[in-house]
Homo-oligomer: A and B are copies of this chain.
Amino acid sequence: MNKPFKEKVQQVDIPALGLRNYWYPAIARWRLGSRPKAVTLLGEKIVLFRDDGKVYALADRCSHRGAPLSMGKCLYRGSGTLSCPYHGWTFDGGTGKLVAKLMEGGESPLPARAAVKSYPIHEHAGFIWLFVGDMNPVPFPTDLPECIADDSKWFSISNWRTYKCNWRLVMDNLAHDQHAPFLHRESPELLFQPIFKHATRNSTELLEDGTGIGHHATHGVHVTHYEGLGPFPPPQEAWYRKLKPSGRGKDMDSTSAANAKFGLKFRHMNMLPSIALIGRPSGNFFTCRLVTPIDEETTILYNFNLFRRRGSIIALLNSLKWVFWSSWAHDWLFSDQDKVVVERIRPGPELLSKTDVGLTAWRWFMARNARRAEPEALSSEVVPQIVEH
Q: Which B residues touch A105, using CB under 8 A?
A: 198-199, 221, 224
**Contact in complex: A101, B355 (CB < 8 Å):** yes
Pairwise interchain contact A99-B228, C-beta atoms closer than 8 A = yes
| Max chain B C-beta neighbours (<10 A), residue from A67, A86, A346 | A86
Counting chain A residues whose Cβ lies within 8 A of the other chain, the interface size class is 35 or more
Q: Which residue of B lies closest to A89 (CB)?
A: B353
Q: Which of chain B's residues have a CB closer than 8 A to the CB of A224? A: 102, 104-106
B87 touches A340 (CB 8 A): no
Whether the Cβ atoms of B103 and A61 lie closer than 8 Å is no
Would you call A229 and B67 a contact (CB within 8 A)? no
Interface residues in A51-76 (C-beta closer than 8 Å to B):
61, 63-68, 71, 75-76
Select one of B68, B178, B228, B389 contacting A344, CB under 8 A: B68
Asked if B103 and A181 sit within 8 Å, CB to CB, the answer is yes
**Which of B85, B106, B226, B347 is the one whose CB lies under 8 Å from A102?**
B226
Contact with B along A215-243 (1 / 0, CB 8 A): 00000010011111110101000000000
Q: Report copies per complex.
A: 3
Contact indicator A345/B67 (Cβ below 8 Å): yes
For residue A337, give the distance in angstroms from its CB to the closest CB of chain B.
9
Inter-subunit contact A182/B354 (CB<8 Å)? no
Query: Do residues A63 and B351 form an inter-chain contact, with CB atoms below 8 A?
Result: yes
A305 at the interface (CB under 8 A from B): no
Query: Does A183 count as interface, using CB distance less than 8 angstroms?
Result: yes
When distances are taken between beta carbons in the complex, the residues of chain B under 8 Å from A102 are 182, 198, 224, 226, 232
0/1 per residue, A72-108, Cβ < 8 Å to B?
0001100101000111101000000001111111101
Q: Are the CB atoms of B66 and A350 closer together than 8 Å?
A: yes
Spot the interface stretch: A28-36, A109-117, A149-157, A245-253.
A109-117
Query: Which residues of A from 191 to 208 have beta carbons under 8 Å from B?
Result: 198-199
Of the A-B pairs whose beta carbons lie under 8 Å apart in the complex, a sample of 25, sorted by A's number, is A45-B346, A63-B351, A64-B353, A65-B177, A66-B345, A66-B346, A66-B350, A67-B344, A71-B341, A75-B234, A86-B179, A86-B341, A86-B345, A88-B182, A90-B226, A99-B228, A102-B198, A102-B232, A103-B355, A104-B353, A105-B224, A106-B225, A108-B353, A108-B354, A113-B351
- In the A-B complex, list the 4 residue pairs whose CB atoms are closest, starting with the nearest: A105-B199, A109-B389, A88-B182, A100-B226
Q: Chain A interface (Cβ within 8 Å of chain B)? A: 45, 61, 63-68, 71, 75-76, 79, 81, 85-88, 90, 99-106, 108-109, 111, 113-114, 172, 177-179, 181-183, 198-199, 221, 224-230, 232, 234, 340-341, 344-356, 389
